[in-house]
Chains A and B, each alone.
Chain A
């Protein structure tokens, strides 16, 4: 029982990090209609910034300043915001598929930079000894993970609440207006470019935050954490959960990551090790099949977007 509890705590922490990632993407795609295919890139910037600032010094690396954990988190968010601003300004006029291609390329570029900028990121060897906050207060890994779980729940609750507030505000309504009909919105005097940029930067900042929190939890970061498959996973989480709905985004993160983990367990239990390679291939098929089935039966996602009707409607 203890073992299962310990695993579930760990699993929950990872899911909560993915929740923040998905909510960031939800803001960009679900509410503003920005097709950001470079999720892994902003996740990486947040993760690496935090790692470089807080990890213990190492003779081979120029970074690793050993700064306090909170400094790392805030800096991760700031640097990711700046990067998103730069990327946003460059891609501001792109729509739909073109934005997707551009951001996909940028995401890969960022991953390759992290792989090659060895003196700062450690290249393929990664950065290790990333400190966990308040680790000295807790004995043993289970108690620490429990604390981290509670901490993550608080952070996710804060992010959720903040997003809900901002999205039900006039700013949020403009985002939806831009998503639905950009020309109509601009004819009403709203500047779509400016709002899209704001949404892009805010969403990417959340992704950077998620990166920093993940890297703290695992204690190790390498370029292989940020391959394009991650972008695909986050997109799947958002679409399956329901884009345009923050609770849907969180549910999607839980469900999709749960499918990934559970399929692995199922295969290891039903397939003998001698056929492990085939079993693993079946796991990948199972994941794809489950995603397709979920979308066939619930095309708007598990929790679709709530239809919002203006208060100001006059009958």
Chain B
């Protein structure tokens, strides 16, 4: 019978040789059971209103994938990252997620930011298809209420941390009678909800709660309403661009100069937008990174690769989300959804050997995993430990504006945060 492909004797020998070399090079038990490359997905709002902050977040994810591949990949295979844009629209995001899971067959994916998009993805893709999803930045507290059947995790502390820490600082500064102006999104309403309880518990009173919609040219009505209650201080929860407008209006209407802010305002854009001489002694909170070599290593690596600093929302948490996925996929006995889900919590086992960020540490982690030893991952945000719901808790820091500069006033470490949480929730 005539073979459709003519294989010369020399060609056959070459092929056999190639095959033998491939088998010799591949790590024994791993490559045989996994199809290479291992695909991992990402969904982020690369266009739309969040585009300015998402660029760095996407770069952070890319950096993490590079480190993973340099450190040995997943089960001996290189990792291929497929990033899709959700355009800030839920239907587009769900379609992208479904495509990634069904057609590209990603074993896990990270995403997204807007909770209006994360919600339907969890409901229509993550839970039914049983694929692990780790979000860097979706803070709506409701997502970890069990609706995802345990497949949804996030590396970002919910706004509970920030809210409680803010209430604690506000109380420490003796600001009892407060007006709150907050952005009317899941982020703003969540943070306000947590803040309300904490503020009351710590002996304060909220005189007015005024919501605002972003991207409006003027906030005179909102500020007037807040000032009508004659507060002694203001808490502003929102995003820098509109915050500048609101604070300018507040100050020009003679509002008190005692202002508390949330983490998004921790940028010179805000300070310069209002005017450095007007924001003296304004303060705010942010999620802190537990300082340490692992955080510095990440910051340096980011600076080196992208030629820009790693400051900004979501940058550190995105790196950790991807690293946790990669570590969990290595720990899991196979790449099925339930196995990876179970393995995510073993990324940080009490008593495990600490591993940090960067390719060398990842390589070390893989060797420990292969030897069956537990690891304890210390990421770009600090130790990553998921609670029963898939949330992480974290330390917080207080920053303030002094002499036109943003400086860190003090940090509230993890144990203090936990104590504060207990005090507020008892």
A residues contacting B by CB (< 8 A) are 3-4, 6-7, 10-11, 14, 112, 115-116, 118, 123-126, 128-129, 141, 217-220, 222-225, 227, 229-230, 260-261, 264-265, 267-268, 273-274, 276-277, 279-281, 283-284
Contacts and interface: CB of A to CB of B under 8 A. Distances in A.
Contacts of A6: 102
* Interface footprint category on B: 35 or more
B389 interface: no
Judged by DSSP, the binding face of B is helix
A218 B115 contact: no
A281 B47 contact: yes
Nearest to A144: B128
Nearest to A123: B189
Contacts, number: 133
Judged by DSSP, the binding face of A is helix
Given A3-B102, A224-B89, 17 more contacts: A4-B103, A7-B99, A124-B116, A124-B140, A124-B189, A128-B142, A220-B122, A222-B90, A222-B119, A223-B116, A224-B88, A224-B116, A227-B89, A264-B92, A273-B82, A276-B83, A281-B47
A284 B116 CA distance: 20
Nearest to A7: B102
B58 interface: yes
27 contacts: A7-B102, A11-B98, A14-B95, A112-B213, A116-B184, A116-B211, A124-B116, A124-B185, A126-B115, A126-B119, A129-B147, A141-B128, A141-B129, A218-B90, A222-B120, A223-B116, A224-B117, A260-B92, A261-B99, A264-B92, A273-B65, A274-B62, A276-B46, A276-B58, A277-B54, A277-B58, A283-B47
B105 interface: yes
A217 B128 CA distance: 12
B418 interface: no
Which of A118, A273, A279, A284 gathers the greatest number of chain B CB atoms within 10 Å?
A273
B123 A218 contact: yes
Contact of B124 (A4, A218, A264, A277): A218
A264 B84 contact: yes
Given A14-B91, A280-B47, A273 B128 contact: no
A268 B83 contact: yes
Contacts of B117: 224
B144 to A, nearest CB: 12
B186 A264 contact: no
Contact of B55 (A112, A265, A267, A277): A277
Q: Rank and list the top 10 A-B pairs by shortest CB-CB distance, nearest first.
A: A224-B116, A280-B46, A280-B85, A141-B128, A124-B186, A220-B123, A219-B123, A7-B102, A3-B102, A276-B83
A124 B184 contact: yes
A17 to B, nearest CB: 9
B114 interface: yes
Nearest to A3: B102
B99 A229 contact: no
A273 B58 contact: yes
